[in-house]
Amino acid sequence: MFYKVALLGAGGVGKSDLTLRFTQNRYVEDYDPTIEDQYTKTFELDSHAVKLEILDTAGQEDFWHLIDYYLQQREAFILVYSIADIDSYRTVQQFAEKIKNTLGTEAPVVIVGNKKDLEECRKVHEKCEDIIREFKYSAWMETSAKLNDNVTEAFHELVRLMWKRNTDR
């Protein structure tokens, strides 16, 4: 099974580090924030062979024009904020709204609060219940790309949500 997914979120929240951690088990302290790239990863999940093509987006100036293109290209999304950055949480709310209006409420979405290792700097206390309630195939979790905490789970959850939706269809 082959799926095309994308990570969306404000700059600096850890989209690239989550992608590198999942695809290559790498963590880069100062990854170039302007690099947008695609990564593929093949793995087994619940006895199924899965291949993910992951688009790690970088928020360029024209991002809000590109977003429609991304949404048409990809079938499921990881929306990333940092638990230490309240603005990045608001950005995720905006992306969720955009996805809902463009693709509808059946788009598979995992909301990720990254940098959970920075508990002492926590600004976001939400569990994203409002967003989760709006999407039929959605989940929320907190991760740390730095400590490799919950990263694999986030990608696996996204695949399981796609399966659930495809079974329902």
User: Which C-beta is closer to ligand GDP: that of 20 or that of 109?
Assistant: 20
Is position 144 an interface residue for ligand GDP (rule: CB under 6 A)? yes
Q: Which of 6, 14, 79, 135 binds ligand GDP (CB under 6 A)?
A: 14
C-alpha to C-alpha distances, 54 to 70, 85, 101, 134, nearest whole angstrom: 12, 24, 23, 24
**Nearest-angstrom CA–CA distance, 42 and 6:** 16
The helix-helix angle for 15-24 and 151-168 (nearest 10°) equals: 90
Is position 13 an interface residue for ligand GDP (rule: CB under 6 A)? yes
Is position 16 an interface residue for Mg ion (rule: CB under 5 A)? yes
The piece of 15-23, 96-104, 112-120, 132-140 that touches Mg ion (CB under 5 A) is: 15-23
**Nearest-angstrom CA–CA distance, 16 and 27:** 9
Closest distance of CB 26 from Mg ion, Å: 13
Question: In the complex, which residues of this chain contact Mg ion (CB under 5 A)?
Answer: 15-16, 58
